[in-house]
Structure 1
């Protein structure tokens, strides 16, 4: 990945990690100029968010029931 691509998408990549609302904002910021660096970080945050929801609503309640 080129240094120019990283510098161009750094702001939106950082914004994507500010809760799910930041991810949505970064998605729309990246919608016009498809930056691969920003897209990677948006996908990362979506994965982190989905895993946290699975943990919160499926795994954690099962741990409480079994204890």
Structure 2
């Protein structure tokens, strides 16, 4: 099952831009924003720099903390 199938059509039409999200802690993100950006960053993981890898790690930790 692909990430899109797992997430389904639960995405709202409007998710805050990553530029906005990067200025706040993942603990303040919505569940949908966490799941969407985790999916996108997972796909891009071979090309993430150190900062991107750190942000992705924070997203994963927040997803695990919430039990999403």
TM-score (norm: length of structure 1): 0.46
Which of the two has higher C-alpha Rg? 1
Tell me which of the two structures has the higher relative contact order, counting C-alpha pairs closer than 8 angstroms and 6 or more residues apart. 2
